[in-house]
Amino acid sequence: MISHVYVNPIYVSLASKLLRKTSVKVCSTIGFPYGASMPAVKGFEAKRAVEDGASELDMVMNLSAFKSRDYTLVKNDIKTVLEVKRLYSKKIIVKVIIETAFLTSEEIVMACKLCKETGADFVKTSTGLFGKGTTVEDVRLMRKTVGRSMGVKAAGGIRTYKDALAMIKAGANRIGTSTAAAIIREAPYG
């Protein structure tokens, strides 16, 4: 059963209307796919997505600012999106995509720490568009860094039941994949 559908912000309103009589949650991306939008733009995009019916947001961290070690900008960028949690009474989940394929182990740790410090709900491995895809080692490192109080979502290159199970064993409590139906069919109970 599909529990969440992710759409670009322009389609949140339509998806919300089409799915209003189902249990499927509408979720959206913010700053997708590069994360290089101005914080105010990401903030507007997040507010509008929530107003249009999104219950979860996957924002892309500003990788350029991060690589430049402008951690103040990175944190302010994340906090601008997190503002929707204060503005709207309903529970909004915000995940920060850090693009692990472009980061060293030390950078993954730093990115996770920044996400945790800002109050994000989850840290997510990737958009699935760039680089090598998610690795078990990256997920394990992310879980070790954020502890159990924060979610870890593995996404990017997870195509089989075996892949998904490996990510869960490494510490992911959510999986992002475009092959969910095939993974479910592969599962021993499916």
Active-site residues: which are they? 58, 124, 153
Cα dihedral across residues 56, 61, 115, 71: positive or negative:
negative
Return the closest-CA partner of residue 57 out of 94, 16, 24, 88: 94
Per DSSP, 11 falls in state: G
Phi and psi at 14, nearest 5°, equal: -65, -50
152 with 171: CB under 8 angstroms? yes
172 with 141: CB under 8 angstroms? no
Q: Looking at the chain, list the stretches that DSSP marks H as alpha helix, in order from N- to C-terminal side.
A: 12-19, 39-51, 63-67, 71-87, 105-118, 136-146, 161-170, 180-186
